Amino acid sequence: MSKLVDSLLVALTDNAPWVALTGAGISHASGIPTYRDHSGRWLGSQPIQHQDFIDEPAARRRYWSRSVFGWPRVAAALPNATHYALAQLESAGVLSGIITQNVDRLHQKAGSQSVIDLHGRLDQVKCLDCGAMETRQSIQQMLVASNNLPTPETLTLRPDGDADLPSDVIEDFAVPECKHCGGVVMPDVVFFGGSVPQSRAQECYDLIDASRGMLVIGSSLSVYSGFRFCRYLVGQDKPLLILNQGDTRADDICTQKYDTEPFSLLTECAARVAQKLAEVAHD
């Protein structure tokens, strides 16, 4: 492990600043599971599709009825060592920012300042008709007050705040409405099959332009919305380092891959960077 730490540390410090692209794998230790296993296979049924939520009332009932149980666990999740390590590296000037595919806001909770929430944020809800925004917590209170909820026992949580639930509970579930216009409300996230807003994607490209390389951490890059940034970076002849256990879509174009205890590796590197900075400050 020490040789891997030395290798990554040299790469990070010699080519700073880097941009980090993070995926669901880094939030697993915070109690938020991933969609896929290390081989890229789905864990459980496939998640809700973006257009289905918009077009189909039944899909909205399914999502909100399951989300009412899944959201509290996401809301209570705390950053883990990997989130704090990335915040340390940003503070030290090694990272210029983070592009995250996660919607849990744990990077911000850990203290990272420059974060682009590529797929949105689960703690906000937007009206599709008038555009009004509400907090997810206020929607939770509405859901609890409007529905006769069963006592949760063994439910499977998903990264987007969804949770498995029997079909008979879903059928009669009262979904939330916009308190301003009565319109359809949706979590302020890009579900599977949806498109990232162009302005947000451009922010990511600008961050990559201002960086000298990219770290991919905890993502299989199965979704193109993240993989495209790897291709863009490599097209600029900048190094791409992958820290992930299991195959990724960018394995054949990366400069180097670290798949042995990748999160511990990053945490140790961040600790050494912080130690060096402390020694310089003391001198």
- The pLDDT tens digits of the residues spanning 174-213 come to 999 999 999 999 999 999 889 999 999 999 999 999 999 9
Q: Whose CA is closest to 24, among 152, 126, 124, 161? A: 161
- Structure token pair of residue 125: 């809800």
Whether the pLDDT of residue 47 is over 80: the answer is: no
Long-range contacts of 256-263 (CB under 8 A, 24+ apart): 256/7, 256/11, 258/4, 258/8, 260/1, 260/4, 261/1, 262/217, 262/218, 263/25, 263/26, 263/29, 263/81, 263/82, 263/217, 263/218
The mean pLDDT value of the chain amounts to 89
Range of the domain at 261: 2-282
Count up the domains in the chain and report the number.
1
What angle separates helix 262-282 from helix 81-91, to the nearest 10 degrees? Answer: 40
Which of 8-22, 163-177, 196-210 comes out lowest in average pLDDT?
Answer: 163-177
Tell me which DSSP letter residue 179 carries.
Answer: T
Closest CA to 161 of 58, 65, 86: 65
The pLDDT tens digits of the residues spanning 208-252 come to 999 999 999 999 998 888 999 999 999 999 999 999 999 999 999
Instruction: Give the model's pLDDT for residue 34.
Output: 72
Annotated catalytic residue, options 28, 50, 107, 119:
119
Lowest mean pLDDT of 81-95, 146-160, 175-189, name the range: 146-160
Contact 32, 74 (CB under 8 A): yes
Query: Has 180 been annotated as catalytic?
Result: no
Q: Tokens 């399914």 map to which residue?
A: 62
Give the count of beta carbons closer than 10 Å to the beta carbon of residue 153: 5
Confidence of residue 46 (pLDDT cuts 50, 70, 90): low
pLDDT at 41 (0 to 100): 58
| Better-predicted residue by pLDDT, 167 or 133 | 133
CATH code assigned at 219: 3.40.50.1220
In this prediction, residues 64-77 reach a mean pLDDT of 89
pLDDT in tens, 255-271: 999 999 999 999 999 99
**Model pTM score:** 0.90
CA distance 160 to 194: 14
